Amino acid sequence: MRKWISLSCPLIMILILTSFGTSPNILVQVPESLRVKEPTPVLFPKDRTIMQSAMVVPPFLGSSFVGFKEALAFKESQGDYFTINTLGYLGKYQFGVGTLQLMGVYNATKFLNDPTLQEKVFRTNLARNKWILRKDIQRFSGKRIKGIEITESGILAAAHLAGPGNVKKFLRSYGEWDVEDAYGTSIFHYLEQFSGYDVSSIKAVRNPRI
């Protein structure tokens, strides 16, 4: 009897398991309160940046000289070395042919196709403007004109826009005399937008050339 039971138990288990596999699907009724009828919002933890790992963050340049020149270049040309605007100004920093000649550059095509030369011209022109405006930088830095603080970097940026002579007139008239470029950007705007950068690495040089 015991031998028969020991032989029959495995057969019974096989039949039971087989019956589950061949039986019709059993429908499970989900309670009405638990049914999902529409998409539900995904809740993120508080103070967590969404998809932070997928974000592309540009390098932080801050108030460094590199930050200054890249901010100015973006304003001038969106940082494009090879662009010419509607008035014929060239390159990343939008130089006119006359200014290039002052720097000792006479081949505009070569200039436009040489990013290294463009960077050299930019620094050389800053050194020239810093020499011309050295007394005004010393006199007006830290003062406020029309609600904005005058800084060395703002003065140099404005000189890049309108020339050092026009910046002198603005400062010495305490903002009563201002000019705009062909696109409506004023000396005041550049003094404000490019205030507070560190341009101490640029040394004032009289009549510098490439």
In this predicted model, what pLDDT tens digit does every residue of 95-150 receive, in sequence order? 999 999 999 999 999 999 999 999 999 999 999 999 999 999 999 999 999 999 99
Q: Determine the 3-state secondary structure of 51 from DSSP.
A: coil
Q: Is 151 helix (H, G, I), strand (E, B) or coil?
A: coil
Most confident of 8-12, 25-29, 46-50: 8-12
Say whether pLDDT at 30 is over 80.
no
DSSP 62-113: TTSHHHHHHHHHHHHHTT-TT-B-TT--BTTTTB-HHHHHHTT---HHHHHT
Between CA 129 and CA 92 the distance in angstroms is 18
For the chain, which residues make up each domain, given as ranges?
65-193
Give the rounded percent of residues in the chain with a pLDDT score beyond 70. Answer: 71
pLDDT greater at residue 94 or residue 181: 94
Note the pLDDT tens digit of each residue in 43-84: 333 333 333 333 333 455 789 999 999 999 999 999 999 999
Q: Distance between CA atoms of 15 and 10, rounded to whole angstroms?
A: 9
pTM: 0.71
Predicted confidence at residue 22, as pLDDT, reads: 47
4 sits in which H/E element: helix 2-22
Say what the pLDDT of residue 43 is. 36
How high is the pLDDT of residue 61?
73
Q: What is the pLDDT of residue 148?
A: 97
Q: Please give the pLDDT value at position 62.
A: 84
pLDDT, average across residues 149-169: 98
Contacts of 142 (CB under 8 A, 6+ apart): 149, 150, 151
| pLDDT confidence of residue 50 | 35
Say if residue 40's pLDDT is above 80.
no
Q: Is the pLDDT of residue 9 over 80?
A: no
Structure confidence at residue 1 (pLDDT): 52
Q: Beta-carbon neighbour count of residue 53 at 10 Å?
A: 5
